[in-house]
């Protein structure tokens, strides 16, 4: 799709799409929680996190072109988000595990990008403050659920295990971002391991990428639930071509 003249280099455009789609898709998933939260404070917290991510997504997609054209008119295969963020909410434990994995990654990444000369530096410097809160929120809930009741421990372990195979993809190089991806992965693993251990959970031993489908979101290969998520997200916009909202 033609998205207009982008003011940035093609490699940065690739990165902006990847990071922007991550934020957009996770915001969309978190938005599904509205009215379903386990406690009123979490209605506020999850909406707040979703709102931060949506703000990041709008900034990043605008670097590439028109945010709404990009969000609403691309097909599934054109999205560059990692598969982790598109995974369905599941129970609260799955949502928290997904958030722990993603926020830890995002915080480490934006911390590094904030110190680069890339067009992402200003956004990263601002986003890192929001993301630190998201990670803190996910860590606290991982501890509470892991070290709470036998039921919550079992659910949190199951979620931690189920999403583990989507975490390898996070460390595939994105565009030409000047980041040491191996080092990023090591830091991520150390951080997540420490949280899981404090939560009395077992660090999953399975592979961090599966068969060809797990870990190819950056190339536009997604999982089955993603198409339905997009159908819901894009339907109204697409039903009124050319309309302004």
The residues of the shown chain that bind other proteins, judged by CB under 8 A, are: 24, 27-28, 31-32, 34-44, 47-48, 50-51, 54-55, 57-58, 61, 67-68, 71-72, 91-92, 143-145, 147-149, 151-152, 155, 232-233, 235-237, 240, 242-245
Rounded to the nearest whole angstrom, what is the least distance from the CB of residue 65 to other proteins in the complex?
Answer: 13
Rounded to the nearest whole angstrom, what is the least distance from the CB of residue 166 to other proteins in the complex?
Answer: 21
Token pair of 78 as six digits: 């054109």
CA distance 29 to 106: 17
Rounded to the nearest whole angstrom, what is the least distance from the CB of residue 213 to other proteins in the complex?
Answer: 24
Nearer to other proteins, 76 or 91 (CB): 91
Nearer to other proteins, 52 or 169 (CB): 52
CA distance 70 to 13: 12
What number of other Cβ atoms are within 10 A of residue 94's Cβ?
19
Nearer to other proteins, 179 or 230 (CB): 230
Nearer to other proteins, 25 or 214 (CB): 25
CA distance 242 to 245: 10
Nearer to other proteins, 20 or 175 (CB): 20
What percentage of the chain's residues is helix, strand, coil (to nearest 5)? 65, 0, 35
CA distance 170 to 217: 10
Rounded to the nearest whole angstrom, what is the least distance from the CB of residue 42 to other proteins in the complex?
Answer: 8
Rounded to the nearest whole angstrom, what is the least distance from the CB of residue 233 to other proteins in the complex?
Answer: 6
Rounded to the nearest whole angstrom, what is the least distance from the CB of residue 97 to other proteins in the complex?
Answer: 13
CB 42 within 8 A of CB 34: no
Q: Please measure the distance between the N-terminal and C-terminal CA atoms of the chain and give it in whole angstroms.
A: 21
Nearer to other proteins, 144 or 208 (CB): 144
For tokens 């969309």, the residue is: 28
CB 165 within 8 A of CB 207: yes
Backbone angles phi, psi at 154, to 5 degrees: -65, -40
Nearer to other proteins, 82 or 93 (CB): 93
CB 100 within 8 A of CB 135: yes
Rounded to the nearest whole angstrom, what is the least distance from the CB of residue 234 to other proteins in the complex?
Answer: 9
Q: Is 67 helix (H, G, I), strand (E, B) or coil?
A: helix
């Amino acid at each position: 799709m033609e998205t207009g003249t982008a003011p940035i280099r093609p490699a940065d455009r690739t990165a902006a799409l990847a990071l922007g789609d991550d934020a957009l898709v996770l915001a969309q998933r978190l938005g599904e929680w509205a009215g379903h939260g386990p406690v009123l404070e979490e209605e506020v917290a999850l909406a707040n996190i979703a709102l931060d991510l949506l703000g990041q997504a709008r900034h990043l997609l605008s670097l590439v072109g028109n945010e709404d054209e990009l969000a609403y008119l691309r097909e599934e295969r054109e999205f560059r988000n990692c598969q982790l963020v598109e995974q369905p909410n599941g129970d609260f434990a799955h949502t928290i595990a997904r958030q722990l994995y993603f926020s830890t990654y995002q915080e480490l990444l934006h911390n590094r990008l904030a110190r680069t000369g890339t067009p992402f530096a200003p956004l990263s410097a601002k986003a890192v403050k929001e993301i630190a809160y998201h990670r803190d929120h996910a860590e606290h809930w991982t501890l509470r659920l892991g070290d709470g009741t036998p039921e919550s421990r079992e659910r949190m372990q199951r979620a931690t295990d189920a999403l583990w195979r989507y975490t390898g993809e996070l460390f595939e190089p994105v565009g030409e971002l000047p980041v040491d991806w191996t080092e990023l992965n090591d830091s991520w693993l150390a951080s997540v391991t420490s949280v899981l251990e404090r939560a009395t959970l077992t660090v999953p031993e399975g592979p961090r990428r599966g068969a060809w489908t797990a870990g190819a979101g950056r190339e536009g290969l997604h999982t089955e639930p993603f198409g339905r998520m997009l159908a819901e997200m894009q339907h109204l916009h697409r039903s009124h071509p050319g309309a302004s909202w």
